[in-house]
Structure 1
Amino acid sequence: MIQAAATWKDYVYLFRGDTYAKFDMPGNKAVSTTGSIQGEWAGLAGTTFERDIDATVEWIDFAADIRYTYFFKGDQCLKYYPAKDEVVRGPVSIAQAWPELAKVGFDRDLDAAVWTDKPPFLTGPTPSASTSSRATSTSATTA
C-alpha cells in the first residue's frame, strides 16, 4: 500500500514504510523500484519521517520562487527544501504549523494533501460526533 506521494521536478516519489519508488513522469516509467527514504531525502535522516509518512504536499513560495515539500506523520509535520536536502522547519505539531487545520480537526493522521493553483486541499480522519458540524476537508495557508 502506498502511504504517501510527493513530486519533485519531473518525478513522483511513492512512499511505503522506509522505502520509496521514483517515477519519471515525462518518461512514464519507474526510474528506481525501491530505495531508502533517507537515501534520496537525506535531510529526513534522524527524524521520525524516515518511515511511515502519512501525507506530503508541495508548497510553492511564488514570491521567492522556492518549492518546499511538507511531510505529515501522526500529529507532526515538517517543512523540507528538496533543492538542498534540508529540513527548514520541524518536526513540529501540525496544530502549531497549520493552526487553521486544528480548528477543524485536521491536526493529526492526514491521509492526503493535494496542491492546486489554490492552497493545498487536505484530507484526514472522519470527524467524531463532537465535531460533525465541522467541515471534513479544508483549505489552509501557512508560512
Structure 2
Amino acid sequence: MTADVADFGQYVAAHDIPPLDWTRDLSAALFRNWDDRAWFFKGNQCVCVKMGSDEVVTGPGYIEDLWTSLAQTIYADGFDAALSRMEEDAAFFFKGSRTARIFMGADKIDYKGSVGAIWPALAGTSMENGVDAAFARDYNDLAWFFKDDKCLCTYMGSGKVAHPIDTITQYWPHLEGTRFAQKIDAALLRGTGDAVWLFTGDLCVKLKMGSGEIMQGPSRIADEWASLARLSRLR
C-alpha cells in the first residue's frame, strides 16, 4: 500500500486515514538498511521515506496494514519507541513494559516479552516500564535508550550495560541547554553511518557518533525533512 504526495488527498479519503502533522511529536523511527529507507511512526500510523532522495515511498497508512505482523497486537495502535538491528534485518518495538522483535524482510514476529527480560540492562531501571526513544549501531554492538532526561547504553550481544543510566547531557554534552536534554521522542541512525538524528517536539538535531558533536540543527523537522513537510502541508 503506497501513496505519493500528488495523490495523498485521494489516498486518505479512500482508506479513511485521518491526516497527521508529521513534522512534530513523532512516536518512533527506525532505519531499514537494505533499501535505505526510514520509517516514522505516529499514533497508529506510519510512513516510509527514502533517505537518499528524501521522498515518501510508502504510506502514510495504518501500522497494522503496513506491518502486518503487528496487526491484532498491542503495537497496532502505536508504541513508544523502535530500533533496528541491521545485521539481523530485525526491528524491536517497545510499548510500556513490553517489546517484540520482527524480521523486517519477512514481516514476522520472532519473539516478544517483557523489556527487562529481553533487554536485561534495562531491568531494575525506570526504563524497564517504558522508553521514549532508542537506536542501535551494529558497528560496535551498542544500543542506546532514552527516557525523560535519562539515557542508557547496552551491548546488544551480551545484554550487559555499556554505560549506566544517567542524564542525557552526561553522555551527550552538546545537547546541554536544548530541548533534547529533557526528552527525546524518536531516534534514527542510518545504517552503519557515523551520525544519528534525534527528534523532540517539532525539532530535530543530527549528532556525530563518538564525539557527540552537533552536525546539523537543532532545527525544525519541517525544514530538514522536506518529505514530511510536504505531507503535513496537505493536512
TM-score by length of 2: 0.51
C-alpha contact (below 8 Å) 1:55/1:110 kept by paired residues: yes
Residue by residue, what CA displacement relative to the aligned partner does 1:54-111 show, whole Å, maximum 9, x if unpaired?
Answer: 0001235xxxx42211000000001111111011112010011111122432112211
The answer as to whether partners of 1:108 and 1:124 remain within 8 angstroms in 2 is: no
* Number of the residue aligned with 1:7: 84
Asked whether 1:26 is paired with 2:105, we answer yes
How does 1:1-143 map onto structure 2 within 5 Å?
1-8=78-85, 9-32=88-111, 34-59=112-137, 65-116=139-190, 117-126=193-202, 136-143=203-210
CA distance in 2, matches of 1:98, 1:29: 35
Shift of the alpha carbon at 1:46? 1.1
SS in 1 for 2:176: helix
Residue 30 of structure 1: how far off its partner (Å) = 1.8
Give the aligned partner of residue 129 of structure 1. Answer: none
SS of the counterpart of 1:95? Answer: helix
- Cα distance in 2, alignment partners of residues 51 and 141 from structure 1: 29
Q: What percentage of aligned pairs have identical amino acids?
A: 28
Q: 1:142 to 1:96 in 2, by over 3 A?
A: farther
Runs of 4+ residues over 6 Å off in structure 1: none
Larger Rg: 2
**What number of residue pairs does the alignment pair up?**
129
Cα deviation for residue 51 of structure 1 reads 1.6
The amino acid across from 2:89 in the alignment is: D
Using a 3 Å threshold, how does the CA distance of structure 1 residues 40 and 78 change in structure 2: closer, same or farther?
A: same
CA RMSD in angstroms comes to 1.7
Residue pair 1:97, 1:142 contacting (<8 A) in 2 also: no
Deviation at 1:115, TM superposition (A): 0.4
SS at the partner of 2:208?
coil
Query: Do the aligned residues in 2 keep the contact of 1:53 with 1:72 (CA within 8 Å)?
Result: yes
Q: Say if 2:134 and 2:144, in contact at 8 Å, map to a contact too.
A: yes
The unaligned stretches of length 5 or more in structure 1 are 127-135
Tell me if the contact between 2:196 and 2:209 (Cα under 8 Å) persists in the aligned partners. Answer: no
Contact 1:13–1:21, Cα closer than 8 Å, also in 2:
yes
- Aligned residue in 2 for 1:132: none
SS in 2 for 1:109: coil
Over 3 Å counting, the alpha-carbon distance change for 1:67 and 1:22 in structure 2 is same
